[in-house]
Chains A and B, each alone.
Chain A
């Protein structure tokens, strides 16, 4: 009961045969990407806002920088970060031949 052709992963689909070495490399690279992404997330969710009182002394276009980072700056980083993450993870999938057909 597929609506369109590119629906994948029906429950009846056979698991992929992937060598242990490939699986290990894949998960190592995926984990490094995850840690890098969490690092960026942590900096722009928490670390940078610790300095909000000092950053507020700097004004750009009227915006105090500390306020700006929490109101817009960090949000822009989150959006760009997810676009980058999706691309980087796709590349890992393709490099190791574990992407969906």
Chain B
């Protein structure tokens, strides 16, 4: 393929990606053929992973650039449709591709908070931010904060929030790459992590945003094909109709009937479709509140994550930025409205064909099971069957399944050839790599552009700036991979934190910067600090110092309850439990926490082998629920008592509100040259 990236490239995008998609289809068919003639599964897996990474690398290398505006914003020449696809794969991570359907399997209705939160946030992006950030039109989100709020202090606050949120997120993506690569290449986890890292770096290092954009479009095509095909085939198997999104309704109906039958037999079965309902059938206000709090945090977090917002700097115009959010949401929607179908079909298959069978018969009923009754990188078996009551029959409570198995094993459950399993691996890898690329670039650009160029050496020549960018990209990538390799799957829960942190730190300052002219520098800076400190502090405190948290916010009964939970956790060593046991032995000594009372109350739950505190019963995954309103309030109040922004600043806001014409910067030093 002789692709020229000069001028005619953007006019030929349809043709180029059409040929690419056709080529991928031929490649899959070829592998299917190879499988039929007896090529071993292992080889098919290798071909899938190395050939797709090879294509991304090829795109990354031919998109190399030494032009600053190409490196940071892809030359502002990405049409809305393609920016939409790039947003789709930038957005959908390993958690969406592999984890989402599994969460829905495990949580039922409760898992839909992720579906709602990760789509509805784009409405906020389109209406409140994307068009105005595009009109502002520099390189990074901190650039906007710097120009709007008087320079480097605001810029620095933005950089800190950006790096905290993006770093925990990128580490989780690299763990995801490691898990997929390890399963399909059969190499040690650490080796798998570094193979993935090579795949990530080769896409972004030479061409920055330009290379990342065009590989993300390619990755979107692979991930959506890989997600839809097994679901369609599964739908054919279960219902005879190839439209999973429409047909899983009948599966839900059957699941409800099977659940009712199991309950009638005296088992406790979690409800799949009932909303805000505990496994014993009670409506729970706490579940409802946590559902809506999570939806809120995920939505606002979506609208604040810099690796998503920076995609809207790359369209040719404000108008295209708006329609590219619509396209992006559409491409994301295609995957998210299919995820509940995966969950329903898998659950029906398990409830209908496995539960209630004799355990000795399972290998003949479901030959796929044996491929998954082995150790996962999470430290538990993917699938674990233990006959607790020794009756030889499988009950629901005796069947443990890791959520990731739902998507990864669907091809085998549906009895499809191995080539489809390889396709799913390639799709999951595309999802993890594309998100990791976007995040790494966001972090490296914040460091190289905002910290180095804007704050340390504003006179640095272009060549040196690009070298610094690339070196920092490498450093951040290796640091993320090292963290991923050391901490492994223990840190995956941190992904959800990224949303609350970004939401509380950035959302209020960005939105009020555009929509409220009276927002002052001091107001915005304090708002960012308050939102970030409250949210990050709440997350760290409740998660890692849960007992201490309870001793401040809990009543004496709640504190005693937390102590009992602590000594009940098996993995905690006895010498740490001893002092707590001494406290439990003498309950009269326990006092209410200093802040427990009419305003605050809290309880605790055991999660991830820790006692985790909850203020007002809110799970810490929704920690942004405190930080976001506090940030808005702080900005508003401080802006009221500080001197209103200058006329020049108001003119600047006026100029970014209208699509037409250039931007009237309040401070010319905040400008960029292209």
The residues of A with any CB-CB pair to B shorter than 8 Å are 1-4, 6-18, 23, 26-27, 30-31, 34, 37-38, 41, 44-46, 49-50, 52-53, 56, 59-64, 66-68, 70-72, 74-76, 78-79, 81-83, 85-86, 89-90, 93, 97-101
B380 interface hit (Cβ, 8 Å)? no
Question: Are the C-beta atoms of B661 and A13 separated by less than 8 Å?
Answer: yes
Name the contact of A11 in the complex, choosing from B112, B137, B330, B661 (C-beta under 8 A).
B137
* Of B125-133, B422-430, B581-589, the one with at least 4 CB within 8 A of chain A: B125-133
Query: Of the candidates B109, B336, B664, which one forms a contact with A75 in the assembled complex, judged by CB atoms under 8 Å apart?
Result: B336
Asked whether B325 lies within 8 Å of A82 as measured between CB atoms, the reply is: yes
**Pair A1/B275 contact, Cβ less than 8 Å:** no
Q: Mark B125-157, 1 if CB is under 8 A from A, else 0.
A: 011100100110110000000000000000000
B residues whose Cβ falls under 8 Å from a Cβ of A? 7, 9-11, 67, 69-70, 75-77, 109, 112, 115-116, 119-120, 122-124, 126-128, 131, 134-135, 137-138, 245-246, 248-253, 256, 273-277, 283, 288, 291-292, 295-296, 299, 316-319, 322-323, 325-326, 329-330, 333, 336-337, 340, 515, 654-655, 657-664, 671-674
The answer on a CB contact under 8 Å between A98 and B659 is yes
Contact of B660 among A18, A59, A70, A89 (CB under 8 A): A18
Most B CB contacts (10 A, CB to CB) among A3, A50, A78 go to A3
Is the beta-carbon distance between A74 and B316 smaller than 8 angstroms? Answer: no
In the complex, which of the residues A34, A37, A67, A79 contacts B329, with contact meaning CB atoms closer than 8 Å? A79
* Contact indicator A37/B109 (Cβ below 8 Å): no
Question: What is the distance, in angstroms, from B138's C-beta to the closest C-beta of chain A?
Answer: 7
What's the Cα separation between A7 and B134 when bound, in Å?
12
A12 to B69, CA, bound (A): 14
Expressed in whole angstroms, the minimum distance between the Cβ of B508 and any Cβ of chain A is 15
- Decide: A14 near B661, CB < 8 A? Known: A37-B123, A45-B116, A60-B249: yes
**B316 and A11 contacting across the interface, CB-CB below 8 Å:** no
Candidate in B9, B126, B250, B291 with the most chain A CB atoms within 10 angstroms: B126
Ordered by A's residue number, 19 sampled pairs between the chains whose C-beta atoms are within 8 Å are A6-B316, A8-B317, A14-B661, A15-B663, A16-B662, A17-B661, A18-B658, A18-B660, A23-B658, A49-B295, A70-B112, A74-B116, A75-B116, A78-B122, A82-B123, A85-B127, A86-B319, A98-B659, A98-B660
Contact status A46-B295, CB under 8 Å: yes
In the complex, which residue of chain A has the Cβ closest to the Cβ of B245? A72
Tell me the minimal C-beta distance from B28 to chain A in angstroms: 28
Smallest CB-CB A-B distances: 5 pairs? A16-B661, A62-B249, A13-B662, A52-B275, A82-B326
When the two chains form the complex, which single residue of B122, B252, B276, B658 contacts A53, counting CB atoms closer than 8 Å?
B276
Q: Which of B322, B340, B654, B662 contacts A85 (CB 8 A)?
A: B322
Question: How far, in Å, is B254 (CB) from chain A's closest CB?
Answer: 8
CB-CB under 8 A for A7 and B275, given A70-B112, A81-B123:
no
- State A3–B252 Cα separation when bound (angstroms): 51
Contacts of B273 in A (CB 8 A): 56, 64, 66-67
